[in-house]
Amino acid sequence: MTRKLDAEIAVPAQCELAEGPVWDAARGLLRWVDILRGQVHALDVISGVHSSFGTGEELGTAGLTRDGGLVLALSDRFALCDHDGQNLRRLDGFTVDGSVFRFNDGKPDPRGSLWAGTCTLAEQGPPCTLYQLSPDGTVTELFGDIGLSNGLDWSDDRTEFYFADSYGGGVDVFGTDPDTGALGARRRFAEVSDGLPDGLTLDAEGGLWLAVWGSGELRRYTPDGRVDTVVSLPVTQVTSAAFGGQDLSTLYITTARENFTPADLAAQPHAGDIFACTPGVTGRLPFLFGGKPQDANGG
């Protein structure tokens, strides 16, 4: 039987398009981005202080770095900055066509690189691509033919890479070389027919938590692809999730209010807020950008 859970408001953030939550254990902060407003947000979970800084443009994701800063996928290029947004340095040598694409979701991988994919600005545009930014600044195209690049994560043993193409109807899993990170055979992990697969995260038991845009739900899939838990939200645009807190037992969920009309906002006043629940399983520390390859707990 599928377990049903509810979530409470953790931050009345009122974001346009909150995405990419990540737990900053070194500072005790939950971080996330508001893509369309170009902001990086942070919540001190002890004090309840909510802060943010702007990047001056849209951005797809913000990852943590091994030196305590942030790595960003801005609208059309990569960048680095201090943890508070100071000293923002746009990296030269690579851009996507900003008239057609912008960066969307992404995360650092177990080997210290940032993986981030694109989406098109038009309703129907050309195929998108998943890219890898190495710590030395090299950018590699991993694969293309993507409708809308979204959630991604790696298994503890580094032999599987999970990826959601929002227009592809589900989540796929790739075999990966645990030593090099090279991608191998691809297969369908889970089908989604009643919404768009969006951001995702794995828990410490290998369960996959998937935000399903348009459904008002965050779903947990067991390692064999079955739904065993559903978290119901009072908003339709559920975007992503990440575990946080000192013991990584709190599941934080980001949401959006993209293209909402006044009537939509009246019906869903908490769209764009950050929610939280305690599902009874714990998460894993995020991987960090830069330096040497890391273990499966983000170290």
The pLDDT of 201-215, averaged and rounded, is: 98
What is the per-residue pLDDT across 9-43, written as a single tens digit (0 to 9) for each? 999 999 999 999 999 999 999 999 999 999 999 99
Q: What are the distances in angstroms from CA 102 to CA 221, 253, 299?
A: 29, 23, 30
Sequence length of the chain is: 299
Q: Distance between CA 127 and CA 235 in Å, rounded?
A: 29
Share above pLDDT 90 across residues of the chain, in percent, rounded to a whole number: 95
* pLDDT recorded at residue 243: 98
DSSP state of 286: P
Output the CA–CA distances (angstroms, integers) from residue 209 to 193, 239, 298, in the order listed. 16, 11, 18
As a whole number, mean pLDDT of residues 192-199 equals 97
Q: Which helix (H) or strand (E) is 265 found in, with range?
A: helix 262-267
User: Has 92 been annotated as catalytic?
Assistant: no
The reply to whether the predicted model has a pTM over 0.85 is: yes
Per residue in 65-102, pLDDT tens? Answer: 999 999 999 999 999 999 999 999 999 999 999 999 99
CA–CA gap between residue 128 and residue 143 (Å, rounded): 9
- Residues 115 and 118: their CA atoms lie apart, in Å, by 11
**Which one of the listed residues 24, 109, 165, 198 is annotated catalytic?**
198
Name the DSSP letter for residue 291: S
Residue 285's pLDDT band (cuts 50, 70, 90):
very high
> What would the pLDDT profile of 94-146 be if each residue is shown by its tens digit?
999 999 999 999 999 999 999 999 999 987 789 999 999 999 999 999 999 99
Q: Which of 286, 290, 294 is nearest to 244 (CA)?
A: 286
SS (H, E, C) 200-256: EEECCCCCEEEEEECCCEEEEECCCCCEEEEEECCCCCEEEEEEECCCCCEEEEEEE
pLDDT of amino acid 125: 84
How far is the C-alpha of 250 from the C-alpha of 229, rounded, in Å?
Answer: 15
Which domains, and CATH codes, for the chain?
A: 3-277 (2.120.10.30)
**What is residue 291's predicted lDDT score, i.e. its pLDDT?**
61
Task: Give residue 292's pLDDT.
Answer: 53
Give the confidence band of 295 by pLDDT, cuts at 50, 70, 90: very low
Task: Provide mean pLDDT across the span 277-286.
Answer: 98
For residue range 256-277, list pLDDT tens digits in order: 999 999 999 999 999 999 999 9
* Confidence band, pLDDT 50/70/90 cuts, at residue 252: very high
| H or E, element range at 175 | strand 170-176
